[in-house]
Structure 1
Amino acid sequence: MTQAPEEPAWRRRAVERSTRAAKLRAEQRVQRFLDSAQELITEKGTTDVTVQEVVDRSKQSLRSFYQHFDGKHELLLALFEDALATSANEIREAASAGRDPLQRLRDAVEMLYEQSRPSPDVQRPLFSDFALQLLVKHPVQVATAHLPLVTVFADLIEDAAEAGVIPAGRPRRQASLVMQTVMFSAQANGVPAGSHAVPVTAEEIWQFCLGGISGAAAEAHPSRTAR
């Protein structure tokens, strides 16, 4: 059987170079769409922007937009994932500065709380209206988007357990519970006008999460008669 001649090395190099260049151009176009959408969201203080507005701001074509995104939902999801990935990187970097594993975990919890908390000085619409819409309509996508943060918190919890400062458990499940507690508490931390209530602090959130991680495990089958 005659073997097909091997492709010349120069041809492979030319194709690879062409592929890399096309990939780079596509990445640049996508980033322009993302940057434009983020600018519009920041200006408006809401995710209520149109695809046409994003296209016009990016100075690209509608055809190019739909080559990369199915629609507005996918564009906003990309921004949401990017924001969470950036948050995870910032938290990991900040927490790595400490030597005490429990203090590193505390720093991560308090930093996530501050990042998620609504603030008149910092527009974070992707952590409010769109995040809640996603949670209701696309829970699987939300879970996927949060994976970088889950990994950071799971690693920190595992480090603390290995150091003996908290009981060993299920780090990823604990990380998910901690994150949900922190992020939802931050979003819901409003005080009615005229009320004497005091907003929940990052310190309180940390103490609550620490108690949950460090507390004794509940009985697998608690008595039905227990009060």
Structure 2
Amino acid sequence: MSTTSEEPAWKQRAVERSTRAAKLRAEQRVERFLDAAQAIIMEKGTTDFTVQEVVDRSRQSLRSFYQHFDGKHELLLALFEDALQRATEQIRAAASGRPDPLDRLKVAVQLLFELSRPDPDAQRPLFTDFAPQLLLSHPAEVKAAHAPLLALFTELMAQAEDAGRLRGSIKPRRAAALVMQTIMFIAQSNDVSEDGTAHPITADEAWDFCAIGVTRT
């Protein structure tokens, strides 16, 4: 005689339906908090705001906020990860239109350079204020946030390797990490001098420099 205590199918369906509904409501509440924080950042041009401001703007409760986030740091981290994910999707879309794997890599490198460089007309405090602090205080979180972007560049490097265009002495993932760090550092420190005499590095120059290091001659 069977002694299984499996729940009836109707009850399983009811529980699953309830769980899906609860998950959807939670996702909607999180999005409202993120949208509110993003709007405040755009208005102020800084990440200097309070949790209460976010709660008031989202028209939700403080209790609800702390059900989803440990605090302001985790909220900013979520916004930072979301911005990096969107940048990754933008780079993937731009690179996918090129049939040659080296051209795809070139497009990705140049677009990453443009997205990483300081823009006085675009307020990006998540990258100019929050990210440098995060790198010093929580390097593991920075690494995790950049994981999708690293995965994309590793994929592009692997495609170049399969086509015989990558140096045999360097592995795709390592090459991807080196190129990403080089490009972002150059772009973020690529300021124009006050007297206008400096000649900022271009995306083409950045690609040419990296290409020497990772591609076959």
Same-fold status (TM-score > 0.5): yes
Aligned length, in residue pairs: 216
Partner residue, 2:116: 116
Partner residue, 1:177: 178
Q: Which runs of 5+ in 1 are unaligned?
A: 217-227
Partner residue, 2:64: 64
CA distance in 1, matches of 2:2, 2:205: 75
The answer as to 2:200 corresponding to 1:212 is: no
CA distance in 2, matches of 1:113, 1:49: 29
Partner residue, 1:202: 203
Q: Deviations over 1:31-63 (max 9, x none)?
A: 111111111111111111111111111111111
Q: Deviations over 1:59-115 (max 9, x none)?
A: 111110000000000000011111111111111111010011111101000111111
Partner residue, 2:142: 142
Aligned Cα RMSD in Å? 1.5
SS state of the match for residue 166, structure 2? coil
Give, as a single letter, the amino acid of the residue that structure 2 aligns with 1:170.
Answer: K
CA distance in 2, matches of 1:125, 1:175: 26
Partner residue, 1:25: 25
My pick for the range that moved more, 194-203 or 97-106, is 194-203
CA distance in 2, matches of 1:124, 1:140: 22
TM-score (norm 2): 0.95
Partner residue, 2:37: 37
Once the two structures are TM-superposed, the CA of residue 134 in structure 1 deviates from its matched residue by 0.7
The answer as to 2:125 corresponding to 1:125 is: yes
Once the two structures are TM-superposed, the CA of residue 172 in structure 1 deviates from its matched residue by 1.1
Contact conserved, 2:118 with 2:191, CA < 8 A, in 1?
no
Once the two structures are TM-superposed, the CA of residue 120 in structure 1 deviates from its matched residue by 2.4
Once the two structures are TM-superposed, the CA of residue 192 in structure 1 deviates from its matched residue by 2.3
Q: Deviations over 1:171-204 (max 9, x none)?
A: 1111111111111211111122115111111111
Partner residue, 1:222: none
SS state of the match for residue 164, structure 1? coil
**Cα 1:5–1:136, aligned 2, differ >3 Å: closer, same or farther?**
closer
SS state of the match for residue 3, structure 2? coil
Partner residue, 2:191: 190
CA distance in 1, matches of 2:110, 2:4: 62
Q: Which runs of 5+ in 2 are unaligned?
A: none
Q: Deviations over 1:122-155 (max 9, x none)?
A: 2221121111011100000100110100010011
TM-score (norm 1): 0.91
CA distance in 1, matches of 2:162, 2:182: 23
CA distance in 1, matches of 2:179, 2:17: 45
CA distance in 2, matches of 1:203, 1:21: 49
- Runs of 4+ more than 3 Å apart: none
